Structure 1
Amino acid sequence: MPSSAVPSRAATPPGRVGRAKVLPEHARGHNRSLVLTTLFHDGAMSRADLARETGLTRVTTSDLVGELVADGLVVEQGTRQGSRPGKPAMLVDLDREGLQVVGLDLSDSREYRGAVIDLAGAVIERRAVARPADGEAEGALAALRILSAELLEAATRRVLGVGVGAPGIVTDHGVVVNSPNLGWFDLPLQQMLRDELGVPVHVANDADVAALAEYTLGGASGDVLVIKIGRGVGGGLLTRGRLMRGSRGAAGEIGHVTVGTDQGRLCGCGRNGCLETWLSIRSLDERIAGGADPDDVLRDAGERLAIAVAPIVGALDLSDIVLSGPADRLDGILRETATQTLRARTYRHDDVQVRMSAQGDDVVLRGAVVLILDGELGVS
């Protein structure tokens, strides 16, 4: 996930490692994010406890908490009674029920899904709109606008922002470079929605958003590949807890890796035999509806998935592979075959696990909350 505002060594010009000037506002932004991140993960605590957990001075911590209370991000929750003599400590925490996020998931094979979710994880409202036919770019935008406006209207408290998980290649500025299923190419979706909705908006690849949810909320390790399977197939990759986007924003685009030498069906990208033509839910359903044996279809898809993933596991030494999508299709023969094939095709990875997402069907929606927490508050 993106780091705090303090410049990293990697961003320092060659020959000047460690010499980049850290401005006071950068340090304060870093400390502010540190306080919010600590509260988000560890829950309510006193200012003194917060200072000990973050390593900041009590004065700095007290000043930051006061600032965050004034900004409406942190609330005082009353005193903690204890056996120690003296004045009871006042507990502070994120305003988990008073702050909400609108999450949007554009990856489902049948509909666009959205929800208003508070920082305690409670879903306040759900909405969905029918998914337009593939390639209908204007129809897809119109449906997204309707869903966004309805959810913002349904929010009951302050909205921190709108997080969107979209299939395809998405830059770190929220430009959808290539999404054939949606018909979007070089679409500045993030800026477009910000201008129209008047609230902060962050747009990212749906599998990347799912990976953020698994890591931040689902307890996944910092080295994990999340494979999102729906209308298409995509991957979100974290190494050492950092989201890997790649030099062109296409890291994890395993859906368009050719698997096998048997040609395969024509893919929406214009090539034949892409993993997506074997593994997407639409492809699975079409083959089964066409009379193929369901077990054979799922076994074949699991094997081809492992063929595509094995080089990634070997190169990055991964042991945690997470599948996100309909459990009735993925959890069982497909997942078991993928695990067995993956272990057979990699060296010293007999313990590699292919498992289902801990976040269920809401993985992208909950990942959208993480996207906003990170982008607006620096919480990672």
Structure 2
Amino acid sequence: MTASDVRSLPGRGIRHATKVLPEHARAHNRSLVLQTLFHQGAMSRADLSRETGLTRVTISDLISELIADGYVIERGLREVSGPGKPAILVDLDREGHRIVGLDLSGTDRFLGAVLTLDGEIVARHDVPVPADPAEILSVVTSLARDLVADAHAPVLGIGVGTPGIVDDSGVVLTAPNFAWTEVDVEGALSGELDLPVLVANDANAAVLAEYTFGGAPDDVLLVRVGRGVGSGLLAGGVPMRGSRFAAGEIGHVTVGTDGGPRCVCGKVGCLEAWLSVPALETRLAEDDADADGILRDAGERLGIALAPIVGALDLSEIVLSGPLELLDGALAQATVETLRARTLAQFHDGVRVRMTAQGEDIVLRGAAVMVLSGRLGVS
């Protein structure tokens, strides 16, 4: 697998509907084996043959290759109570590699972590967000370098979740909060660190974490609220990125005809101008006595933005990711009420709106899924 393979970002299972060309068969089969081990754990070569539908000869060959590459290990003999030779169990070498994840969506700090292949965080670093946008890339590079040094194992790759619209090559086409236009984050980091780098919008990274580690359904929208507001969308377990890489960019949708605050993008009344963490904190600081009303207002604006999406795509679940003290409670309740008032009751009254259980780690863990998918074909 190459770094560019992450752009397809498969769901939990390897899909068989599309014919696999002979020249791609081996890479497909490697991914199928690794995907099976990732989700089901240690098993014998015979088990793998039954689960994947590949012949025992093919499995034996692939396992030998994956052991040589350092991605799979033998874990000893299976315990048996009856006669017969016990089988040797194989599994991903979950401790043999590390992943570096970066989350650039915070309002005051950039977060970084070293993660296992299972998405568990084993080391953390963070740095203040620089006041000068011209310094952001160098600060991020330094943070990544420190994390690689703290990995204490070969680094499979670096995943980055960033605000903004990100293209197939890891170039941030625009990120108004960073004053970025056409910034090649992937190229800059890979050039400095000599490691595979994968870059995605932070909400798109977060929805991958919720799907892989958080039990989200195949059709789900995750709304990420931080320095800005964005969303990541899965349809049938497949991420939607859009014809211009801007699927899910709900932050700059105008959510009312009553004016409102001016957004960083220059428009008036964008969802982000009502719902972003800095916007909410400013309004709450100015009128602490009406905190419930301010949060309900922001939740209603979010519901206005989400109702057409729920109606068009028949989503069953909306996941909110951001500060619990702001999003949970009055804001989330107002979002549910607005959704129900603005969609077809017979079908959409059951839409679930919930907070993620992954807290501030969700983008970091999503960055790990990006690397797993891009490097190993696993998600």
> What is the TM-score of this pair, normalised by structure 1?
0.94
1:227-246 equivalence runs, <5 A:
227-246=223-242
Q: Does 1:272 align with 2:268?
A: yes
**1:15 corresponds to:** none
Asked if the contact 2:158/2:197 (under 8 Å) is kept, the reply is yes
Larger RCO, structure (CA 8 Å, separation 6 or more): 2
Distance 2:98 2:10 in 1: 23
Alignment of 1:316-355 (within 5 A): 316-347=313-344, 348-355=347-354
- Aligned residue runs from structure 1 range 1-380, under 5 A: 2-3=9-10, 22-24=21-23, 26-133=24-131, 136-292=132-288, 293-347=290-344, 348-380=347-379
Question: What is the Cα deviation at residue 22 of structure 1?
Answer: 1.4
Summarize deviations over 1:193-217 as a string: whole Å, max 9, x none. Answer: 1111100000000000001101111
Contact 2:94/2:118 (<8 A) preserved: yes
1:27-68 C-alpha deviation (Å, 9 max, x unpaired): 000000000001111111111111111111111011101100
Q: What displacement does 1:7 show?
A: 11
> Aligned partners of 1:65 and 1:289: how far apart in 2?
59
Q: Secondary structure at the match of 2:326?
A: helix
Cα displacement string for residues 280-299 of structure 1 (whole angstroms, at most 9, x for unaligned residues):
11111000101251101100
| CA contact 1:117–1:369 (8 Å) conserved in 2 | yes
Moved more, 303-312 or 74-83: 74-83
Residues 10, 237 of structure 2: 8 Å contact kept: no
Q: Is the 8 A contact 1:180 1:268 kept in 2?
A: yes
CA gap 1:353/1:157 in 2 versus in 1, 3 angstroms? same
1:6–1:22 Cα contact (<8 Å) kept? no
Q: Between Structure 1 and Structure 2, how many residues are aligned?
A: 367
SS of aligned partner of 2:312: helix
Structure 1: gaps (5+ residues): 10-17
User: CA–CA distance in 2 between the matches of 1:340 and 1:59?
Assistant: 57
Deviation at 1:142, TM superposition (A): 1.8
Secondary structure of 1:254's aligned partner: coil
> What secondary structure, in the 3-state scheme, does the structure 2 residue paired with 1:256 have?
coil
Q: Deviations over 1:299-339 (max 9, x none)?
A: 00000000000000000000110000111111111111111
CA contact (8 A) 2:117 2:372 kept: no
Per-residue deviation, 1:3: 4.2
Q: Distance in 1 between matches of 2:118 and 2:273?
A: 38
- Contact 1:167/1:205 (<8 A) preserved: yes
* Amino acid of the structure 2 residue aligned with 1:291: D
**Letter of the 1:361 counterpart:** E
Q: What amino acid maps onto 2:119 in structure 1? A: G
Per-residue Cα deviation, 1:103-149 (whole angstroms, up to 9, x for no partner): 0000011100000011133322100000123xx33211121011111
Residues 64-121 of structure 1, C-alpha deviations (whole Å, 9 max, x = no match): 0110000000111111112342111111111111211000000011100000011133
Instruction: Report SS of the residue matched to 2:320.
Output: strand
Q: Is the 8 A contact 1:76 1:91 kept in 2?
A: yes
Distance in 2 between residues matched to 1:374 and 1:207, nearest whole Å:
17
Unaligned runs of 5+ in 2: 1-7
Aligned to 2:3: none
The letter for the 1-side match of 2:215 is G
CA RMSD of aligned residues (A): 1.6
The amino acid across from 2:165 in the alignment is I
> Per-residue deviation at 1:156?
1.0
Q: Distance in 2 between matches of 1:6 and 1:122?
A: 26
Give the Å deviation of 1:23.
2.9
TM-score, normalisation: structure 2: 0.94
- Alignment identity in percent? 59
The code of the aligned residue for 2:39 comes to H
- Secondary structure in 1 aligned to 2:348? coil
Q: CA deviation at 1:189?
A: 1.1
Aligned equivalents of 1:65 and 1:328: distance in 2?
A: 48
- Judged with a 3 Å threshold, the aligned counterparts in structure 2 of structure 1 residues 126 and 318 are, in CA distance, closer, same or farther, namely same
Structure 2 residue matching 1:255: 3-state secondary structure: coil
Aligned 8 A contact 1:7 1:22 in 2: no
